[in-house]
Structures are given as C-alpha cells and as structure tokens.
Amino acid sequence: MAKQKILIVDDDINICELLRLYLEKDGFDADVVTNGLQAIEVFNSYCPDLVLLDIMLPGLDGWQICREIRKTSQTPIIMLTAKGETFDKVLGLELGADDYITKPFETKEVVARIKAVLRRSASQTPIADMPKEVSYDKLTINLTNYELQVDGKAVDTPPKELELIYHLASNPNRVYTRDQLLDEVWGFEYYGDSRTVDVHVKRLREKLEGVSDKWELKTVWGVGYKFETK
C-alpha cells in the first residue's frame, strides 16, 4: 500500500525536519518547502494527501497559498501559526483550511491531528457516481462538485460555507448548537471561540436571504441554527 504523502510548508527548517522525522517514523512520506513561492509548484507535482501550511512565509503567505490550493483542490490543509488570535483562526477556516495548530506545538499532537483529518477526509469521500446533493425551492447544494445554485444560478461559495449549508439542509428542521456544527462540519474541537459558525452563517444569509418563502436558515436563540422548511 502506498504511503500517504504530507507536504510541510514552513520557513523554519528545524521545524520542518522535526516534523518530517516524526511523520516518516509513523509511516508517512513527507516533503518540505520553505518558501511560499515554491509551495504551489511542489503541491502540483507532489500531489500530497495533506498540507501542513505555515502562515508567515517568504514569497507568498499561507493565506494566499490556501486560496490558490482551494481553487483546484479539496486536499486537506492544516494551518500552522504562531498567532493565537480568533481572527487568524477564523480566517484560516474561512479560506477552506480543515484545522489549525498554534505554535509552539507538540510534534506528537501534530501527527495525531494529521491522522484525524485524513480519517475524516476519507470518510467524506463520495461513493463513485453517487452525487451528494440536496434540493429545495430555488436552491441546490451539490457536495460532489462543490456547487451552490440559487434561483438557477451558480453562486461562488467557500468550501466550509457549502459544507455547512449542506449539513443543515440535509437535516431539515433539526436544531444544531454551534459546538455540534464545529464538530460535525469542521470535524475537530474548536478551542476557545465558536464565532466561526456565526461568520459562516452570516455570509450564507447574504447569499440566501429572501430567495424562497419555503425554507429559511434560521437562528434558534440561545441554542444555535437550523434549516427550517415550511
């Protein structure tokens, strides 16, 4: 069986080599990039199963690299950052990152997080020729090709926004807490702040508000959110 490939993008060569050592010891294949300008080129040639991506890089920063990867690929991305502010965490998730780890970190934790994200990614892989799609009046959410159609028109939607509305619309009238949504859509325990769910819902509402009177992305005050059908 081929080894799973991890691309490490970080300008700290000591961190890179330490992570590579631990990952290879754990049975992964690992490659290292220390310059943001080379990251996309190596990503395209190496075709990794997951990217460990630092934010502060020479050339292109981690945000720009994440955006570029997400234009063509849903390969899992874990952001590595020395910044712990909520804004940085939310922005990384907004851009389509699957998880984030704040420096300094325990190398064993990084490996554990990689395994968790890869497991989740594998479990979400669509069965061949079985489109993952839900439809309502003037709304179609397709998770196979990551497309949101509103009133017959495709609407550009970041991956996590689309996954969130798909999850809610697949379970109409069920109320979810923010923590449940973070666990079931992002698939990891979000430490410290659940504001990222509110950010995603706000942006989805901007796309969906007033489209139909037969459904609504609704806030359940004091609890969370639901996709309500009428």
Closest CA to 53 of 37, 41, 65, 45: 65
Side chain identity, residue 31: D
Rounded to whole angstroms, the Cα distance separating 92 from 63 reads: 7
Burial classification of residue 193, based on how many CB atoms lie within 10 Å of its CB (0-12 exposed, 13-18 middle, 19 or more buried): middle
Give the other-Cβ count within 10 Å of 45's Cβ.
Answer: 8
pLDDT in tens, 180-215: 888 778 765 544 456 788 888 999 999 998 899 999
Architecture of the structural domain at 5-123: 3-Layer(aba) Sandwich (3.40)
Domains 5-123 and 133-229 share a fold: no
| Residue 105: per-residue pLDDT | 86
pLDDT exceeds 80 at position 96:
no
Q: How many CA atoms lie within 13 A of 105 on its CB side?
A: 23
| Residue 192: per-residue pLDDT | 42
CATH no. of 133-229: 1.10.10.10
pLDDT in tens, 4-49: 999 999 999 999 999 999 999 999 999 999 999 899 999 999 999 9
Q: How far is CA 204 from CA 38, 39, 58, 149, 155, in A?
A: 34, 31, 33, 12, 11
Contact 55, 11 (CB under 8 A): no
Boundaries of every domain in the chain:
5-123, 133-229
Report the chain's mean pLDDT, rounded to a whole number: 85
218 vs 129, more confident:
218
